[in-house]
Amino acid sequence: MSAEYQVNGNVAVITMKNPPVNGLGHATRSAIVEGMKQALNDDAIKAIIITGAGKAFSGGADIKEFNSPKAFAEPSLHTVINVIENSSKPVIAAIHTVCMGGGLELALGCNYRVATAGALIALPEVKLGILPGAGGTQRLPRILGLEMALNMIVSGTPVTSEKLAKTALFNEMIEGDLLQGALAFAAKVADVRPLPRVRDIKINYPNYEAFLQFSRNTVRAMSGPFPAPLKCVEAVAAAVTKKFDDGIKVERDLFLELVQTTESKALRHAFFGERAASKIPDVPEDTPLRAIKSVAVIGAGTMGGGIAMNFANAGIPVQILEMKQEALDKGLATIRKNYENTLKKGKLTQEKFDQRIALITGTMSYEEIGQADIVIEAVFEEMGVKEQVFKKLDQVMKPGAILASNTSTLDVDVIASFTKRPEDVIGTHFFSPANVMKLLEIVRGKKTAKDVLATTLALSKKIKKTGVVSGVCDGFIGNRMIEQYSRQAGFLLEEGCTPEQVDKAVEKLGFAMGPFRMGDLAGNDIGWSIRKRRYIDKPEITYSKTADLLCEMGRYGQKTGAGWYDYKPGDRKAYPSQLVNDMIIQHSADLGIERRKITDQEIAERLIFSLVNEGAYILEEGIATRASDIDMVYLTGYGFPLHRGGPMFYADTVGLPNVIMAMEKYAKGRHGDAWKVAPLLAKLAAEGKSFN
């Protein structure tokens, strides 16, 4: 039952029942229309209340029906709203907790709206690259006024009902029981005629042309590559300049236009990708979770401190273990300084600051952390060091504690073998800075228990991370792919590029930063130590030696004031380095390579398609569950542009046969061995399919 019809005296109450947020799916829409008909045909009924069961009035469209015929099947939301708006009896929306998107559009179609305090009100469609498509852009400006409505529609940001209490949106704020309050309100308006309709309100805004032009200019400057915010302004402009029905037509046309854009498809892909990432095919959704009430972190360095902050931010107490008092003091001081900076910026209250600082304590004794529910090691990335730590953890941690490693490349199965409880071991690869970056790569070992995996995924949500599960392989999903990207970046330098040219080519596509600026930020010595290991473990893989030569010059990046670029004290801006460019040109000459002019298109294709090809291998090997998981890793951890949807989605938009054609062309150049087409990529292209 997706909506319940009840009669209370002379009032009909239609309650939406489609958990978790009463999404307006086809069954719910049909049930509202049926309820309306029943109420209108019953002479005893004087008024109708529409409300939502559970924890929402309505969150809007039913995401389970997105991209399916049911989403647009009749009765559409437009039809439902028309039935309500044309009612001969007053219809009251009784709003609580969540009233967003189509839920708010439904409420705007009612004659009256009453609400409880604390309800979140929003039209968030712009965040999916679309605009409200059921009259939201036409009705909200009529009832809230042009300026406030436009801000809500363009930003998509929720506003609490009490902030809107004095506007015409709500006829009454209800204290106490919502239904009782709504029934009392219904008694007051049962005989009021004519019935007020939002569509009949005239928008009075002096000099609206100037305001709309100012809005267009502001939104154009802030919306970057996304077309939806500007289209929202156009739709709202129609509410001011056109008759209601003509404005609705403008809104509909703009909505249908936006739905087809790559940018909207990319945003919707990311929205669903984030939700899909937490679902693991062989781990049932009702898997019992282990309780996580306390955390221990081994290592108070940059990573350890950042990891600890995530848990303190979520209200979970954390102990940080270090071997030396000096290192512990330094780590705790850095955490305090980070919080002080946030406090100074006004992004943290003094109360929250005190709370978080109090939740983080230090220790130098393994015995003191034994009762923690999960322990995360963040020590030096070397197997011998990890072995010592995990043998010690195996001795001191209580039964049932989760033993997690923040390794970024090492074999989690080998780490698990250092304990007598491999089922409790999991990889939790945080990204630096760990208190800021959204991605958490969760590495599932061969023996990792299902409840350990389910608990870690749930914990990632609690600390506001996007948890993506990876199987065990060298570098997991993200770093295994970035290695191919970095290899191509190095080859491009040998063949004719400068670091600045390579970086600018991908930054033009919307990347946060190119590979060389990224290397300088992360520390070029990290890649150097990985390559040294590769030269022994995998001598068949070729690399450009330019990065080694750079490190031999002591240019590790921002931390040493010099890397691929020059840096000035207190200035993070990357300045092109003549010294580095001369070194690169000399290296090409030493290799006997005649440098050539390389286009930005070639740079972008070689970097991105190397990611795509490695991603296809990762999918085929089952390291990643689905292509969208790979995209989530790159959107949340590697600065891949959101409007491009991630590497696998980007390949789909380019067309997989086109990706292969470009790869075959690059395979004829130097280092052609790097362009062996992954069998899955070839298969999907041949079958006319895509990754997503």
Which 3 state secondary structure label does DSSP give 117? coil
Query: Is the Cβ–Cβ distance between 516 and 502 less than 8 Å?
Result: yes
Strand order in the sheet with 112-115: 3-8, 11-16, 47-52, 91-95, 112-115, 172-173
Residue 125 falls in the annotated catalytic set: yes
Amino acid in the structure at residue 312: A
Query: Is the Cβ–Cβ distance between 371 and 327 less than 8 Å?
Result: no
- Cis ω for the linkage preceding 194 (within 30 of 0): yes
295, containing H or E segment: strand 295-298
Class of residue 111 by CB neighbours under 10 A (exposed 0-12, middle 13-18, buried 19+) = buried
Going by C-alpha positions, the residue among 155, 179, 169 that lies closest to residue 7 is 179
Residue 620 falls in the annotated catalytic set: no
The span from the CA of 29 to the CA of 72, in Å, is: 11
The span from the CA of 189 to the CA of 65, in Å, is: 36
For 71, 240, 350, 351, 388, the CA distances from 504, given in Å and listed in that order, are 41, 42, 42, 43, 44
129, containing H or E segment: none
Q: If you ran DSSP here, which 8-state letter would residue 88 be given?
A: S
* Token pair of 188 as six digits: 């007051």
The span from the CA of 212 to the CA of 240, in Å, is: 10
For 427, 434, 630, the CA distances from 312, given in Å and listed in that order, are 20, 13, 29
Class of residue 5 by CB neighbours under 10 A (exposed 0-12, middle 13-18, buried 19+) = middle
Query: Is the Cβ–Cβ distance between 549 and 583 less than 8 Å?
Result: yes
The active-site residue out of 105, 274, 441, 602 is 105
Going by C-alpha positions, the residue among 159, 188, 18, 161 that lies closest to residue 90 is 188
For 20, 267, 567, 646, 675, the CA distances from 668, given in Å and listed in that order, are 54, 36, 38, 27, 9
The active-site residue out of 85, 125, 274, 605 is 125
The span from the CA of 474 to the CA of 577, in Å, is: 33
Amino acid in the structure at residue 335: I
Going by C-alpha positions, the residue among 476, 465, 515 that lies closest to residue 630 is 476
Going by C-alpha positions, the residue among 598, 555, 596 that lies closest to residue 574 is 555
Query: Is the Cβ–Cβ distance between 15 and 64 less than 8 Å?
Result: no
The span from the CA of 121 to the CA of 98, in Å, is: 6
Give CA angle at 585 (579, 591), nearest 5°.
135
Query: Is the Cβ–Cβ distance between 454 and 292 less than 8 Å?
Result: no
Find residue 321's DSSP bridge partners: 298, 363
Rounded to the nearest angstrom, the gap between the alpha carbon of residue 472 and the centroid of all alpha carbons in its chain is: 24
Backbone angles phi, psi at 257, to 5 degrees: -65, -45
- b vs e for 308-322, b when ≥16 Cβ sit within 10 Å of the residue's Cβ? bbbbbbbebebbbbb
The span from the CA of 545 to the CA of 531, in Å, is: 10
Q: Which residues are catalytic?
A: 105, 125
